[in-house]
Amino acid sequence: MKIATRSSKLALKQVEIFTNQLKELDLNFEIKKQLTEGDKKSKQGENLFDKAHFVEDLETSLLNYEADVAIHSLKDMSCHDTKGLEIYAAIKHPSRSDVLVYKNEINPDDLTNIKIGTSSLRRKRQCKHFLNNKNCSEIRGNIDTRLLKLHEGQYDAIILAKAGIERLELNENYIDLNFLPAIGQGIIAIQCRSDDKKTKTLLDHIKNLELLKMIDIERKIIRHLNATCNSALSISSKIIGDTIESDIEIYGEEEIISEKLISELSAIDKSIKNLVTKIKGRGGLRLLDENY
């Protein structure tokens, strides 16, 4: 099996997690490490680019038959499937939350004025609304790069996904942030060609239908709101039996809109339509437009 992946430590760790789940099949894995356009832009210090640039080069490898699967962080992916490709399997982490990683001399009980590094508009707005901190600055790069900038003193603290910290077993000072996560945060997406029956048969061994259903519903909500992975929006869902519960928050500069969806899976399309109508009625699209 040929695997396309970014070349960062976290990306390669996620490949390891994936291959370990298939070890009973005794497959030979060929790992195709790629420096994506997003990696290049990030390394050059660019801030304002679509996170899809971390994904597109891997997808091209799939479409060109240079790889059988591509391993992504789901939060980097568009809520629209690329033609000819699909997310066929996924692996979740126990936590989808954010953490605030801080320098030794910082008092984690007083976060109002510290300089926080994050490139996410969602996280900046959450810091403003929930931490009363308006001192967020842009930061780019992989986890190692961001931690280096933190320890060099460029920031007092940085925000990272807890899943990344734990997957890499990093020993850092951090506190959990009680924020709703980005769509797909903490989830590894395994993408393949839609017509590749051989690869799909192998992936069936790790396919989690409930997780895929949850992912599909969250992405559908985002599509109906015309939002993107860069929007200041959070969503967290869980499926209990035949019911799904989703918490959604949209963050404006001065305002937050919170909604909850509770629906039978069999009625999810109607429930999403009602949810989006309610959000629109409360001015949610106006808040999403503030993102830009």
- Residue 123 among the catalytic residues: yes
- Residue 127 among the catalytic residues: no
Are residues 157 and 100 in contact, defined by beta-carbon separation less than 8 angstroms? yes
- Residue 140 among the catalytic residues: yes
- Residue 229 among the catalytic residues: yes
* Cα–Cα dist 146/140, whole Å: 7
| Residue tagged active-site, from 51, 124, 125, 146 | 146
Q: Are strands 116-117 and 136-137 parallel, antiparallel or unpaired?
A: parallel
Are residues 68 and 192 in contact, defined by beta-carbon separation less than 8 angstroms? yes
- Residue 76 among the catalytic residues: yes
Question: Which residue intervals of the chain are DSSP H helices?
Answer: 9-21, 37-43, 56-63, 121-130, 143-151, 162-167, 197-203, 209-224, 268-281, 284-289
| Residue tagged active-site, from 123, 124, 162, 193 | 123
Q: Which of 124, 129, 109 is nearest to 158 (CA)?
A: 124
- Residue 96 among the catalytic residues: no
Element (H, E) at 170: none
| Residue tagged active-site, from 75, 124, 167, 219 | 75
* Cα–Cα dist 49/39, whole Å: 11
| Residue tagged active-site, from 96, 122, 125, 219 | 122
Return the active site residues.
Answer: 75-76, 122-123, 140, 146, 229
